[in-house]
Amino acid sequence: MKLRLNIEELNDDFFEDTRLLGITAPLKNYQFCLQLNNLMGYNFRLNPGIEIHLRKKERSYYFTVYESKEPNSFLTHYLYHNQFDGEYLLPEFRHMDFLWLMKGDLVDDEKCNWIKQAVKKISGVQLVAELTNEQIRNKGNMVF
């Protein structure tokens, strides 16, 4: 008997009960995280253990992931850098510099809207948009 890994199912499980924001902000990762931490009270830190490694055309690409856990909650925020050396983690969202994934606990519309509004006020941020699961073609690229 052969067991087959259903990658699509794994990806769907990973994204269950998540919210994802796409952010256009031509800022350095650490500068953007510093502003999120200072202005919004988050604690984004680089987590090398969940860095995304993709191989395309015999080359390696590394996409950094920053992480901030919410106190007294299962909710964790992940901030992905969408670009490395001319490649994109989610090529369908080339215009997005960062992808903010909220995972581990339900995020209601009110909280999601608060985050969107607060991020929009950060200097250098040009666009903040919620991305739906249906819009994401390369979901598997974000799974760690």
pLDDT at 117 exceeding the cut of 70: yes
pLDDT at 1 exceeding the cut of 80: no
- What is the DSSP code string of 69-103? EPTTSS-EEEEEE-EETTEESSGGGTT-SEEEEEE
Domains parsed from the chain with CATH numbers? 15-132 (3.30.310)
**Which pLDDT belongs to residue 36?**
97
**Average pLDDT in the chain:** 93
**Which pLDDT belongs to residue 5?**
65
d(CA 72, CA 125): 29
Percent of the chain with pLDDT over 70: 97
Percent of the chain with pLDDT over 90: 78
CA diameter of the chain? 57
| Helix, strand, coil % in the chain, rounded to nearest 5 | 30, 30, 40
Tens-place pLDDT, residues 47-95: 999 999 999 889 999 999 999 999 999 999 999 999 999 999 999 999 9
pLDDT at 102 exceeding the cut of 90: yes
**Which pLDDT belongs to residue 35?**
96
Whether the CB-CB separation of 118 and 36 falls below 8 Å is answered with: no
**CB-hemisphere CA count at 13 Å for 110?**
0
125: helix, strand or coil:
coil
